[in-house]
Amino acid sequence: MSSASERREELKAVFHQSQGCVKCPQLAAGRTTVVFGSGHADADLMFVGEAPGANEDKQGVPFVGQAGRLLDTLLGEIGMTRGDVFVVNVLKCRPPGNRDPLPQEIDNCQDYLFRQLELIEPKVVCTLGNFATKLLRADPTGITRLHGRAEERLIGPRRVRLYPIYHPAAALYTPSMLEILRTDFHRLPALLALPAPE
Ligand code: URA
């Protein structure tokens, strides 16, 4: 593909394009910001969540609420910060009342995510919960069966290591799920140390 600086410029262009998006009229009418994603534009590790909530919609940054604080804690435990990774969501706009993303909305929004994956070129894509996992695996198998198992997948033109884990919001109030999430999360450094999939 193109050089890192060309990819960074293109990522900025996609960001600007996303800011005026009206593909989902209900989401466009109700949002404060389009939450494109944030982090290191050349990150080896990318997290894909579900959709912005109220805090994210206000601040324009993904995972800034309670689930985000848990994500930051877990990143700290493996010696990383937000600045080392790139964090995005399946949907860039907040669904009203934080309802689940609709299939049509996922369809409308997915080009942004696939462009982000193509331009950031992460080695490991860590899907948080069901929506991101099902979309990127193009398969309805749920997170309960898949969490903690890395697999190589062709996403667009590149092979990546896909690593589904529980969504931090789901683990917030369920200690047993939090323990599983933590165990899975702590495997990330080992996955990042593997050679990139060919
Ligand atoms: N905040 C986000 O940005 N995404 C989620 O999936 C949940 C909370």
Assign residue 48 the CATH number of its domain.
Answer: 3.40.470.10
**pLDDT at residue number 2:** 82
Nearest to 135, CA basis, from 166, 97, 109 = 109
**pLDDT at residue number 198:** 82
Handedness of CA 129, 56, 6, 20 (dihedral sign): positive
Asked whether residue 75 is domain-assigned, the answer is yes
The Cβ of residue 153 has, within 10 Å, a number of other Cβ atoms equal to: 15
Asked whether residue 30 is domain-assigned, the answer is yes
Across the chain, which has 198 residues, the per-10-residue mean pLDDT values are 90 97 98 98 97 98 97 98 98 97 98 97 97 97 98 93 98 96 98 92
Q: Go through the chain and tell me how many residues it has.
A: 198
Asked whether residue 198 is domain-assigned, the answer is no
CB 101 within 8 A of CB 131: yes
Q: Cα 9 vs. chain centroid, distance in angstroms?
A: 20
Asked whether residue 197 is domain-assigned, the answer is no
**pLDDT at residue number 134:** 98
Asked whether residue 109 is domain-assigned, the answer is yes
Ligand 1 contacts (CB < 6 A) are 49-53, 56, 62-63, 65, 67, 89, 169
Tell how far the Cα of 193 is from the centroid of ligand 1, in angstroms. Answer: 27
Atom of ligand 1 nearest to the CA of 87: 3
> Under 8 Å CB-to-CB from 49, ≥6 apart: which residues?
62, 63, 67, 87, 88, 89, 90, 128, 129, 132, 167
> Under 8 Å CB-to-CB from 121, ≥6 apart: which residues?
1, 7, 42, 158
**pLDDT at residue number 88:** 98
Tell how far the Cα of 94 is from the centroid of ligand 1, in angstroms. Answer: 9
**pLDDT at residue number 24:** 98
**pLDDT at residue number 157:** 86
For 185, the domain range is 4-192
CB 184 within 8 A of CB 166: yes
**pLDDT at residue number 23:** 98
Beta bridge pairs of residue 38: 87
Number of domains in the chain: 1
**pLDDT at residue number 195:** 92
